[in-house]
Every structure is written in C-alpha cells, then in structure tokens.
Amino acid sequence: MNRSNLNDEMGHRVRVLRKARGITQESLGKRIRMSRAMIVNLENGRGNWSLWRLVQIAAAFKVEVWQICHPQWQTVLGIEETNGAN
C-alpha cells in the first residue's frame, strides 16, 4: 500500500468513526487542537499522518489505536458505514 492509499484509508476511517459517533469536524478539531480545515484534509486523504495524530484521534473517540488500525476496524468498534454530510 502506498502512502496516498494509506492516507485515503486512514481519512476514511476517521470520517466513518466520527460520523458514527455523531461528532462534527469542528468538534473533533477542538478536541485535538486542530482546525476544521485540517480535519477536512485528513478525512480527504490530503493530511499528514503521524503516530501522535493517530493517538490524539483515538483518544478523542475513546478507543485504542489498535482498534482504528485493525483490518476489521469497523467490526472491532461496532460501527457501520454511514453516508451523509459532514
């Protein structure tokens, strides 16, 4: 998997998890001290990922990092794919 695909996949995971939790991009940004624009970029695969950023996001969602990274992460976290607006 190349870096672009990984960025896309992690962004998708954050978006699905955020929507499943009913959290807005702005609210997530405030929780982890990032702007809404930075959250948008992450979710769209244009952000720069780091372990620290992943840890912050996991903490904001009150899950363990491994749960977000697990191949069957949606099952592990008990969430379903949602389609809709940010």
Q: What is the pLDDT of residue 24?
A: 97
CATH 1.20.58.1290 fits 3-77, yes or no: no
Residue 66 contacts residue 15 (beta carbons within 8 Å): no
- Domain boundaries defined on the chain: 3-77
Under DSSP, is residue 2 helix (H, G, I), strand (E, B) or coil? coil
pLDDT band at 7 (very low <50, low <70, confident <90, very high): confident
Q: What is the pLDDT of residue 29?
A: 96
